[in-house]
A and B are shown apart, each in its own frame.
Chain A
Amino acid sequence: MALIFDIKRFAINDGPGIRTTFFMKGCPLRCVWCHNPEGIPEKPVKLYTQKKCIGCQSCVDICPEHNLVLTPDGIKEIGTCLLDSLPLGSKGGSCGKCTDECPTLALQMAGKEWEMPKLMEIVEKERKVMEDSGGGVTVCGGEPLMHPDYLVEILTELKSRNIHRTVDTTLFASAKTVEKVMPLADLFLVDLKHMDSEKHKRYTGVPNEQILSNIRLISEAGARFWIRIPLIVGVNADDDNLQASADFIASLPTPPEVVNLLVYHDIGKGKHARMGTEYNPEELEMEAPSEELQQHAIELFKAKGLNVKIGG
């Protein structure tokens, strides 16, 4: 079973209608701009929001390893956290006592196990909203295809309940995995980050061949899918890449229903601060595109006969 680090109701940017989104932990990519970095590791991650901390030291007192200490800059780790030192699933390996005890939620655990009935309880609570709006459930991550068995289990359960299922993925997985998930998903939201494999690797940590071939795979199979391109000045918003992306998408046997251009934002900064890690440590140039550039990008995709929109 994989961990889920967030469940968002009233998700209105994750597919059609009003949706509930499950965020699964674990991702093979390391996108510099990642806005959910807490979803990257497979293990639970402690998040610490200093401005919420009232310095009550509940966490300090409860930590079995005496790992935490209150400093003028908030809570700091001085030793080893059981979460890090022990493998996932082992005794103490999902300790989290500090986050259970924290009264202000300054310390929070991203990632916990969800029994299927509990997950479905949330789904059923939202059923009416989903049905009325033409929504459903979106499974995203992290990278949900990293845990195909669990993903298939969730999708199968949702299918038996007649809930619309969307998988939000990078498609960085084996063709076999994609084929396994395909019949259970009503819709894929697929990220396309860069057409140049070298650059793709530079910005995301992995090359793009597998991704491109899987996009072609689902397109050939006639699966419903949307393509989502994060539009980042300095990374992929140059004409060469936009043109190459449009050409590639237009060359697919079945085109995506829509191409969503997602305007870059640096929301990941705050998340990194809460994880105690650094956002964009190499200080790569990344900026949000101007209105003109967004418009320009739209024209470029439209010229290829694609249905394109700003936002998801």
Chain B
Amino acid sequence: MSEAKKAAFRAPNQKMNYALQYPQNDGGMNDRIKRLHEQSITTPTTLTIERALIETAFYKENYGKMPNCILRARNFYEICKKKTIYIGKDELIVGERGPLPKAVPTFPELTCHTVEDLHTLNDREMQPYYISQEDIDTYEREVIPYWEGRTQRERIFSHVSKEWEEAYHAGVFTEFMEQRAGGHTSMDGKMYQRGLLDVKKLIAEALEKLDFINDPEATDKQQELQAMDISCDAAILFAERHAELAEKMAAEETDPQRKAELEKIAEVCHWVPAHAPRDMQEAIQTYWFTHLGTVTELNGWDCMNPGHIDQHLYPFYKKGIEEGSMTREKAKELISCFWIKFNNQPAPPKVGVTALESGTYNDFTNINIGGIDKYGNDAVNEISYIILEVQEELHELQPGLSIHVSKVTPDEFVMAGARVIRQGHGYPSCFNPDTYTKELVRQGKSQEDANEGGCSGCIEVGAFGKEAYILTGYLNTPKILEITLNNGLDPVSGKKLGLETGDPRTFTSYEELYAAYHKQMKYFVNMKLAVNNYIERMFSLYAPATFLSLFIDDCISKGKDYYSGGARYNTTYIQCTGLGTTTDCLSTLKKHVFEDKKYTMDEILKAVSENFEGNEKMRQYIINRTPFFGNDDEYADTIAVKVYDDLVDAIEGHPNTRGGTTQLNMLSTTCHNYFGSVCGASCNGRLAKFAISDGTSPAHGADTNGPTSVIKSLGKLDQTKSGGTLLNVRFVPSLLKREEDLKKLVSLIRTYFSLGGHHIQFNIVDTQTLLDAQNMPEEYKDLLVRVAGYSDYFNDMTEQLQNEIIARTENEEF
């Protein structure tokens, strides 16, 4: 054989490249979408001080002169009236939160950036938020002095106890509302049935019904309803201003096609959100104005979501097709324009230390497709498939996407989702309506409202359009165990943070050890709960969300704000992290100290306190010879179930201030890295500072029996007791090359879901790709990987997080 022929016969080392597999696909993005997409991904993120200036001027003039709800509504009106309106070249769906795409406003009423913060954000290497010196000077002069002592953040920190503050700073838990407003909500289909003028009528009727003689809350309700009414006017005005600009632009436009598009935009913005939408473009624009309203009013943590958008848009699509005014291509173009809008809105940046440390941060809009309708029937429609195509083609940071896989969901749809999973952009993730509707019903929702529910941002679920489900912060369970093992002392900060539950060296049984941990865990949960309730009141009093309240049942009929119990369902969540790590630590001590007596408690604790230095042999023995969570091993899984059940018992059912209760979910986003960084070494062989386990996933490297064992272990938790769990499974692309491989993936998803799994997501990458990406970041700018509840650019992650992703168990198969 000739050399040339030999070379030709050698397998090329080529990157996996799968063609789009949808028969209906028209061949990808059109030129308009390509341009908008390019603009969205190349435009640098900037900070805009416009919102802060309008708000500060308004507060200076008006604070104290009116009830706070009216103040907030009028502040919102002022912003809608004065903010710069932007309509970009090529756009069909219009509106930005800032004056330009990717210009991010600040929310000084919640937390006010210092001059130093602004410099840090502008100068930091990873994902800077650019801001000019002139703007920083203006901010220093006009904004910062006014807000001193008036921010929500200061209200929180001036109230909390020393114990709370020390535990918070030591990383026992985080607090969501110290920099942002309570959030996590999704919309139902109401806004497509009624315009804001109809809503104003509902408000008028509610005002009419107020009974000032027998209802002691009537005055409060009156003020709240008046504030809601102002919020309607604000949003209508905001849309009108877009219509006016579009008309002006149309008048000046020479290209007849663009002129017609601008005229259509003007017509759409004159009509919605004042009236109910009449076609698909109006329907999308209605949502987009609503989205912008809620994220302009407040900076809600940390998502705003259209909910079951495929179900909402489908009737408009169908009508358009039937009337001949809509085509599949046109629908796809509109959805693509809509998608790019999400990507144009990075999250407002943090202040203080976190401004320096955190990399990319975005608002997680997790689009839900497929799943079930409110009667529990299969809800997959043509829009679900179009959305999969759009997601695959654009693969931008936002929005995220999840497919909802119920027993009634057809395989064809799940396979279509699996084909997008295979592309390795980190989505869609997979959710199980059969489990999460049970979770919601268990919390007290009606079956119908539960069926209309889904996931909003990461993995947390709620009743769309009917619930205020406020996530309040993460709980670091491995840290609590660490404090327990040091008899109440935090070995990292050197401070006494917990209860004195006894020197573990004196414990004679595993049960004694577990009881100590349990007591300590309850202590910190209670500490967090007490402050949660205070913070809820601060939002009710100082930062009501009068615009968001228009869209959440039953705020109008109750005359109460979203933050004051107006929603039909009111849930407060604590997100527990580190189940895998905590389980493995307990299993280590149970097995090697109390049962096998291979090591004494003192030997292990001493080695742990020295970060296993000089004790690698012990560390390796523990890592390799201990039953760990995620292997379908009863020994470890029984411990995990107990840890989980006890967290549920400690957290759930406490009344919050809004008429609802507290609940648990199991989620860490990227917090497992931060939590790991504040922990010393742990008994399972994890070295100091390394990440703890994420969500409900096994600890890194702990699962050695493959994904079927992982799902079996996870299946042992009664996930219906949570408001969401998270399971990350990493696959190398070679595992999913063929259609039959994808069928096996689908089968794995279905098995996990029939075992009661809530959520599963896949990172499809090979180690070499990741190592290459680390070494040659410029070559892999588009590499998206799934981190926790969302996908992020690999390049924008810290080296620590990159290493963690590389280290996560690979399911190699030969």
- Which residues on A are within 8 Å of B, measured CB to CB? 8-13, 17-18, 35, 54, 56, 58, 103-105, 125-126, 128-129, 132-134, 233, 237, 263, 265, 267, 287-293, 309, 311
Contact = CB atoms under 8 A, between A and B. Distances in A.
A68 B496 CA distance: 49
B747 A104 contact: no
A164 to B, nearest CB: 14
B11 A12 contact: no
Contact of B624 (A11, A103, A134, A311): A103
A11 B755 CA distance: 20
7 contacts: A12-B735, A18-B748, A128-B754, A132-B750, A133-B747, A233-B9, A290-B9
A267 B814 contact: yes
Contacts of B750: 132
B747 A18 contact: yes
A105 B617 contact: no
B708 interface: yes
Contact of B617 (A8, A18, A103, A134): A103
A291 B12 contact: yes
B751 A288 contact: no
B744 A288 contact: no
B621 interface: yes
B709 interface: yes
B616 interface: yes
B709 A9 contact: yes
A11 B8 CA distance: 32
A311 B737 contact: yes
B708 A129 contact: yes
A8 B617 CA distance: 27
B9 A289 contact: yes
Interface string B37-60: 000000000000000000000000
Interface of B: 6, 8-12, 14, 616-618, 620-621, 624-625, 632, 705-709, 711-712, 735, 737-738, 741, 743-744, 747-748, 750-751, 754-755, 811, 813-814
A132 B751 contact: yes
B14 to A, nearest CB: 8
B729 to A, nearest CB: 10
A237 to B, nearest CB: 8
Contact of A103 (B14, B618, B755, B811): B618
Contacts of A17: 744, 747
B624 A105 contact: yes
B10 A287 contact: yes
Contacts of B741: 12
Nearest to A126: B708
B432 to A, nearest CB: 14
A125 B617 contact: no
B712 A125 contact: yes
Contacts of B709: 9-10, 125
A288 B617 CA distance: 40
Contacts of A8: 706
Nearest to A11: B813
Contacts of B8: 290, 292
B11 A288 contact: yes
Given A56-B617, A103-B624, 10 more contacts: A10-B707, A10-B708, A103-B625, A129-B708, A133-B748, A133-B751, A263-B11, A287-B6, A288-B11, A292-B9
A172 B590 CA distance: 49
Contacts of A287: 6, 9-11
Contacts of A12: 735, 741, 744, 813
A35 B814 contact: yes
7 A-B pairs closest in CB distance: A10-B706, A133-B747, A103-B621, A103-B620, A288-B11, A104-B620, A56-B617
B705 A9 contact: yes
A12 B744 CA distance: 8
Contacts of A129: 708, 711-712, 747-748, 751
A56 B751 contact: no
Nearest to B14: A291
Q: Is the interface of B mostly helix, strand, loop or mixed?
A: helix
A237 B11 CA distance: 13
A233 B10 CA distance: 8
A132 B67 CA distance: 60
Nearest to A267: B814
Nearest to B743: A133
B14, B705, B747: residue with the most chain A Cβ atoms closer than 10 Å: B747
Contacts of A18: 708, 744, 747-748
Contacts of B707: 10
A291 B751 contact: no
Contact of B12 (A54, A128, A132, A290): A290
Given A12-B741, A18-B744, A287-B10, A128 B813 contact: no
A54 B616 contact: yes
A54 B617 contact: yes
Contacts of B625: 103
B620 A54 contact: yes
B616 A56 contact: yes
Contacts of A104: 620, 624
B690 to A, nearest CB: 18
B680 to A, nearest CB: 21
Contacts of B748: 10, 18, 129, 133
Contacts of A265: 814
Contacts of B620: 54, 56, 103-104
Given A265-B814, A291-B12, A132 B754 contact: yes
Given A56-B617, A291-B11, A291-B12, A128 B744 contact: no
A265 B13 CA distance: 13
B628 to A, nearest CB: 14
Contacts of A132: 747, 750-751, 754
A14 to B, nearest CB: 10
A293 B751 contact: no
A263 B747 CA distance: 26
A133 B752 CA distance: 12
Contacts of B708: 9-10, 18, 126, 129
Nearest to B755: A128
Contacts of B624: 103-105
Nearest to B706: A10
Nearest to B734: A311
Contacts of B632: 125
B706 A9 contact: yes
Nearest to A36: B814
A226 to B, nearest CB: 13
A308 to B, nearest CB: 13
Contacts of A13: 813-814
A267 B755 CA distance: 35
A58 B618 CA distance: 11
A311 B12 CA distance: 17
Nearest to A265: B814
B11, B735, B811: residue with the most chain A Cβ atoms closer than 10 Å: B11
A288 B10 contact: yes
A6 B675 CA distance: 37
Nearest to B753: A132
Contacts of A291: 11-12, 14
Contact of A311 (B618, B738, B751): B738
A134 B705 CA distance: 20
Contacts of A292: 8-9
A17 B747 CA distance: 9
A293 B738 contact: no
Contacts of B705: 9
B814 A290 contact: no
B18 to A, nearest CB: 14
Given A9-B709, A103-B620, A128-B754, A290 B738 contact: no
Nearest to A238: B1
A293 B814 contact: no
Nearest to B618: A103
A126 B710 CA distance: 11
B95 to A, nearest CB: 45
A106 to B, nearest CB: 9
A288 B737 CA distance: 18
Contacts of A309: 738
